[in-house]
Amino acid sequence: MIFEPGFSAGQRDVTKTPMLDKTTTVNLLFDYYHILLKDQQKQVLEMYYHDDLSLGEIAELQNKSRQAVYDQLKRAEKTLFELEEKLHLLARDQKRQALLQELETYIDIWNRDPSLPDVYQKIRNTIQDLKAIDS
């Protein structure tokens, strides 16, 4: 399944966090995958998402039609989502961050009361989950 812009929450790992809207998701994906994009794809994504230019403004700067800029933007977005679909860099990083936060919580609990037997096991399980992310 190719995940395209216009998604609904829960379709993919990157969208499981409801606070991530399309702009935030595209910006995060751009941070991970910009090096794999063509120069024109990078440029249109930067102008639209980073510089907050409208399609019309980009079209004027590039001497293209608004429709051509729109098509180029949609293809660049699609490329980002396809790269994430294949490589899962953002999803893995989000999972890693969530597990590290969980681990910190368990360690805080264990520091307050080291006699809790299940907390130690939860720490060990979380460490194993962290190790498994990239394997």
- Dump strand ranges (E) for 20-110: none
* pLDDT recorded at residue 7: 38
The residue type of 31 is D
**C-beta neighbour count of 84 within 10 angstroms:** 21
Q: Is the pLDDT of residue 19 over 80?
A: no
The structure's pTM equals 0.73
* pLDDT recorded at residue 17: 41
Q: Is the pLDDT of residue 66 over 90?
A: yes
Mean pLDDT of the region 62-89: 96
Written as six digits, the tokens of 88 are 């899962």
Whole-number Å distance between alpha carbons of 41 and 25:
16
Q: How far is CA 86 from CA 17, 39, 78, in A?
A: 20, 21, 12
How many residues does the structure list for the chain?
135
Q: Where in the chain is the domain with CATH 1.10.10.10?
A: 13-87
Domain 13-87 listed as CATH 2.130.10.10: no
